[in-house]
Amino acid sequence: MMEYRKLWTILALILCGSATADIFTVVDVIETSTANINVPTSTNGHLTFKPCADECDEEYMAIRLTPETQFIIRGQQVNFVDFRRIFNDVRRGKDDYALVSYDTDKRIVTSLHLGL
């Protein structure tokens, strides 16, 4: 919910700015399959994932997690330890999806959502 507020705030600021201002992506969101994600052992590691929902030939992306990264399962925020445990239990399911939100400038994951 907080991410949506941030997105709307950013959009409002963009619309209030000059019509000739450059528009750039601040936060990007990628939907992928849980089978295409590798979760590190700590929040100071790099999340690696393929930027596609099905199997694909694209190379893995590596984006850093931080202690501020939000981990959300079925709409409920959980801590990293619980997230990693649940993720490892379900990661091979082809119907399970994840949304990876990341700051494109800082290259850090802002949130990781599992749909299950």
Q: Taking the domains of the chain in order of start, what are their residue ranges? A: 27-114
pLDDT in tens, 46-92: 999 888 766 677 788 999 999 999 999 988 999 999 999 988 887 66
Higher pLDDT among residues 17 and 104, named by residue = 104
Residue 114 phi/psi, 5-degree rounding, is: -110, 130
Global pTM reads: 0.72
At residue 25 the predicted structure's pLDDT band, cuts being 50, 70 and 90, is low
The Cα angle at residue 106 between residues 105 and 111, in degrees rounded to 5: 105
Q: What is the mean pLDDT of residues 25-43?
A: 86
Contacts of residue 113, defined as CB under 8 A and 6 or more positions apart, other chains included, come to 72, 73, 98, 99, 101
d(C-alpha 73, C-alpha 99), whole Å? 10
pLDDT at 81: 95
Token pair 């997230």 is at which residue? Answer: 83
In angstroms, the first-to-last Cα distance of the chain is 18
pLDDT at 47: 94
